[in-house]
Amino acid sequence: MPKFYHVVSAALLMALTQTSCSSTKVAKQGSTAAKTESTERSKPAPKSGLKNYSDVITKEAVSDQGVFTIHKVGDKYYYEIPDSLLQRDFLWISRFANLPSGLGGGYVNAGSSVNEQMVEWQKFENKIVLKTKSYSAYAADSLAISLSVRANNYQPTIYAFDIAALSPDSAGYVIDVTKFFLSDVKAFSGLDADLRKQYKVSKLDDSRSFIQSAKSFPLNIEVKQDFTYDATEPPSNSATGSISIIMNQSMVLLPKVPMQPRINDYRVGYFNINQYDYGSEALKADQKSFIRRWKLVPKDIEAYKRGELVEPVNPIVYYLDPATPEKLRPYIKAGVEQWQEAFETAGFKNAILAKDPPSPEEDPDFSPEDARYSVIRYVASTTRNAVGPSVSDPRSGEIIESDIIWYHNHLRSYRNRYLLETGAANPAARTLNTPIEDLGEMMKEVITHEVGHALGLPHNMKASAAYPTDSLRNGEFTQKNGIAATIMDYARYNYVAQPGDKNIRFIRQLGPYDHYVINWGYRYLPEAKNAEAEVPTLNKWIEEKSGSPIYQFGSGSGGYDPQSQTEGIGDDVIKASTYGLKNLKLVAPKLYDWTAAQTNDYEDLDELYGELLGVWSRYIGHVVTNVGGVRENRLKPSQQGFVYTPVSAKEQVASMDWLLSNAFSSPEWLHQSKISRNTHHANYAESIRSLQARHLNNLLSPDRMARLMENEVNGVKYNALNMVRQLQRGIWSEVYSGATVDIYRRNLQKAYLDRMAYLLNEEPGRSSRFGTPVEINQSDIRSIVRGELVQLQRQLKSARNRYSNDLTRYHIDDAIVRIDNILNPKNG
């Protein structure tokens, strides 16, 4: 079950625990609370209706000391909150610990965070109130405008608790939190308004909901709520009319003094936090963005200044889950510690470590839920995924918590893709029993990728286009440089290498961008006394690498940059996809021999063939992005060049020609009788239709056509009309050649007419998909669609009598009527 973990420095721990009652667990949950001599003697008289401490926290109490002391008395839970921790900043993270199958459409997993917010505990008269707190709007307390910031950004109260008693030394407050944790508090709920509406949730059933556990650690409190809701249409187990979830509520004490932040630069890839600084001298609230990173400080700053490798005061340490299979542990550790190479570029030695979990004899208090520890969880689940989320201090960007979760079945996905994408050129991949060394290498690199996220690094999809495509067929090059400039790209396998290429590296690895980005984000700058003072140095490092594709960053968002795509490799998408398809055409006829012939079972064959269609579709999608494509090069005004450059007309025409030949032709090579006739009674033609229609609709999307129309402004001699005309003539080529129209083409041509009907007759609206807005009804889109359909209908009428094949003639007659209905919908 996913828990909450953290690595924290000894110095930080000391600073934090000096302000709390105790940082040592003097009483464990499950045992009677230990009472000191002073506690036994101290029985303050009731004040303002308050009870004596001993009347609330009785001798039957089971107590757990940590950041707050938690007392369980019968079925009630109490927090004892030190006065010193009132108005301190805490981070509250709400996660699913357990959830029903299919919740959220299957895109939500155990361990998924549903809300993160900063909170503080305040005393108001005879109550303790829990309030949210935000640093998104900020001004220094010394500035007069800070009064206005507070007045105009008043944060809501989440809950108000009556003070039940004072602590024995009157330096703290006891509150009953039972009702709070048994209530459906929207701020902490796993079911948002959309999910409640989707599943018709009426209420929380109090009789079937309870607090499963509450534990206190030196820096955090972990509470698990087992909740059952009445729901008319639950995602699973519909007969019960219920949804049951277990929520994990984590409350973590933030450092009293925030870490010095590092200002974000959009030319370098880091997750970031944003604030509006109302104390800025600008004539508006100045938006500031800070990168998210761990706090690393060298032990010997003078040696660090001299350029020596120095260990950090507090390294980043990950513990392996005790449930991790022994044979996989070396690969997971290697995946974590591979980042040591990049941290050495930043001047740190042994900055990140992986360790086996301590035994009960070595550390009886070790718990994965303790916020002082980070743990790589190995989850027994059929989910094929691995995740590396982190939670950061919203005041500074300091990463204070990181989970790496590996789901058991994830290696199956990598096994399958290894076979499909490299099997033509890589004999080791031509089996379901992939060698453990290869599987281990894959796992190592996935762990490195997920740890990268936990270090603050987002995906850099631009890095896969950093290397010339043909260099990926060179053994010496790939062994040295890998297949992309970073591990943070989705460039998993070398599908470009061809049979006969020697000494090829087929699996991704850490790259030069990773060294660059870690140095940029983590190098300690002792002379800079504030974040602004670091900027000239950080800017210099970026501009020194400007112009080299190896050090560029692109998130891949927007879907318009052909050099910034998921799962692609090489700088030429047409060439890379051509190589990829050559390999797939060799793999497809061998798939039966490599699977069913060995296992005497069709399950793996069926699964792999479905994934092979997905790989084919992915290669096509890479080329589609060239059409209406715009390359992004993140620059600042001080640098030469344009940020956005449209793909040339020549490349766009070539891409359309490639698509007509490889995506929209009849893919006979994909039809393998040993596969289709042994895995499904009738599904092949429909599968091809679905994939071809997807790419056709993508090409004929309003946002892509908007970019093509913009080419007229930018002087690119290939516009939306050119694209539609080229596409239409290619898809309906039989009309001009007189060739018989086979089933694949008939399906595709009908899909084309459906898409044109959508573009012409949908309700006028503003399309903003992928961030390229266009007012469809006031653009050239409908003029082009109408004009080309009129031309097509004329050609179809002229050609119909040339066909003796009844099915082809019926298809053409049907198309003529469909076009008439599209052009004249009131007559349809």
pLDDT digits 0-9 by tens, 501-518: 999 999 999 999 999 999
Residue 12 in any domain: the answer is: no
Q: Which has the closest alpha carbon to 695: 733, 663, 729, 721? A: 663
What's the distance, CA 576 to chain centroid?
A: 26
Residue 604 in any domain: the answer is: no
- Distance between CA 150 and CA 130 in Å, rounded? 17
Please tell me what DSSP assigns to residue 91. Answer: E
Which of 253, 286, 320 lies at the terminal end of a domain, its last residue?
Answer: 253
Question: Exposed/middle/buried for 106, CB within 10 Å: 0-12, 13-18, 19+?
Answer: exposed
How far is the CA of 800 from the CAs of 326, 739, 817, in angstroms? 69, 12, 13
Decide if pLDDT at 116 tops 80. yes
Q: Which has the closest alpha carbon to 252: 365, 452, 451, 402? A: 402
* pLDDT tens track for 211-221: 999 999 999 99
Q: Does residue 585 sit in the same domain as residue 717?
A: no
Q: Does residue 324 sit in the same domain as residue 389?
A: yes
∠ at Cα 187 (25, 132), nearest 5°? 70
- C-beta separation of 664 from 748 below 8 A: yes
Residue 314 in any domain: the answer is: yes
Q: Does residue 585 sit in the same domain as residue 462?
A: yes
- Distance between CA 433 and CA 445 in Å, rounded? 19
Show the tokens assigned to 376: 């790589």
Share of the chain above pLDDT 70, in %: 87
Decide if pLDDT at 285 tops 70. no
**Per-residue model confidence (pLDDT) at position 399:** 93
- C-beta separation of 654 from 573 below 8 A: no
Show the tokens assigned to 657: 């020609």
Q: Which has the closest alpha carbon to 542: 451, 633, 464? A: 633
**Per-residue model confidence (pLDDT) at position 107:** 62
Q: Number of structural domains, the chain? A: 3
- Distance between CA 165 and CA 78 in Å, rounded? 10
Segments forming the whole domain that contains residue 787: 666-827
- Distance between CA 616 and CA 585 in Å, rounded? 10
Q: Which has the closest alpha carbon to 496: 565, 448, 439, 567? A: 567
Q: Does residue 694 sit in the same domain as residue 568?
A: no
Q: Does residue 455 sit in the same domain as residue 308?
A: yes
- For 541-559, letters b (16+ CB in 10 Å) and e give ebeebbeebbbbbbbbeeb
The dihedrals phi and psi of 150, each to the nearest 5 degrees, come to: -65, -40
Reported as half-sphere exposure (CB side, CA atoms, 13 A), residue 4 has a value of 29
Q: For strand 390-392 and strand 127-133, is the pairing parallel, antiparallel, or unpaired?
A: unpaired
Question: Mean pLDDT across the stretch 648-671?
Answer: 96
Q: Does residue 317 sit in the same domain as residue 245?
A: no
Q: Taking all residues of the chain, what is their mean pLDDT, rounded to a whole number?
A: 87
Q: Does residue 316 sit in the same domain as residue 231?
A: no
* pLDDT tens track for 754-813: 999 999 998 755 554 456 788 888 999 999 999 999 999 999 999 988 888 889 999 999
Q: Calculate Rg over the CA atoms of the chain.
A: 31
Residue 655 in any domain: the answer is: no
- Distance between CA 722 and CA 710 in Å, rounded? 13
Residue 220 in any domain: the answer is: yes
Q: Does residue 439 sit in the same domain as residue 351?
A: yes
Residue 337 in any domain: the answer is: yes
Q: Which of 84-88, 357-361, 635-639, 641-645 has the lowest mean pLDDT?
A: 357-361
Which of 535, 563, 594 lies at the terminal end of a domain, its last residue?
Answer: 594
* Sign for the pseudo-dihedral over CA of 350, 352, 358, 362: positive
Residue 369 in any domain: the answer is: yes
Question: Mean pLDDT across the stretch 437-450?
Answer: 93
**Per-residue model confidence (pLDDT) at position 606:** 93
Residue 795 in any domain: the answer is: yes
Element (H, E) at 211: strand 210-216
Confidence bin at 342 (pLDDT 50/70/90): very high
Confidence bin at 469 (pLDDT 50/70/90): very high
At 22 the three-state DSSP class reads coil
How far is the CA of 606 from the CAs of 419, 581, 582, 589, 601, in angstroms? 14, 20, 21, 14, 10
- C-beta separation of 326 from 362 below 8 A: no
* pLDDT tens track for 567-607: 999 999 999 999 999 999 999 999 999 999 999 999 999 99
What's the distance, CA 263 to chain centroid?
A: 22
Which of 221, 253, 285 lies at the terminal end of a domain, its last residue?
Answer: 253
* pLDDT tens track for 483-503: 999 999 999 999 999 999 999
What's the distance, CA 403 to chain centroid?
A: 13
Question: Mean pLDDT across the stretch 655-663?
Answer: 98
Q: For strand 210-216 and strand 201-204, is the pairing parallel, antiparallel, or unpaired?
A: unpaired
- C-beta separation of 218 from 253 below 8 A: no
Reported as half-sphere exposure (CB side, CA atoms, 13 A), residue 19 has a value of 17
Show the tokens assigned to 175: 């509150």
Question: Mean pLDDT across the stretch 530-538?
Answer: 96
Confidence bin at 279 (pLDDT 50/70/90): low
Q: Does residue 246 sit in the same domain as residue 314?
A: no
Q: Does residue 209 sit in the same domain as residue 358?
A: no
Question: Exposed/middle/buried for 575, CB within 10 Å: 0-12, 13-18, 19+?
Answer: middle
Q: Does residue 348 sit in the same domain as residue 496?
A: yes
- C-beta separation of 191 from 198 below 8 A: no
Report if pTM > 0.85: yes
Q: Does residue 33 sit in the same domain as residue 164?
A: yes
Contacts of 282 (CB under 8 A, 6+ apart): none
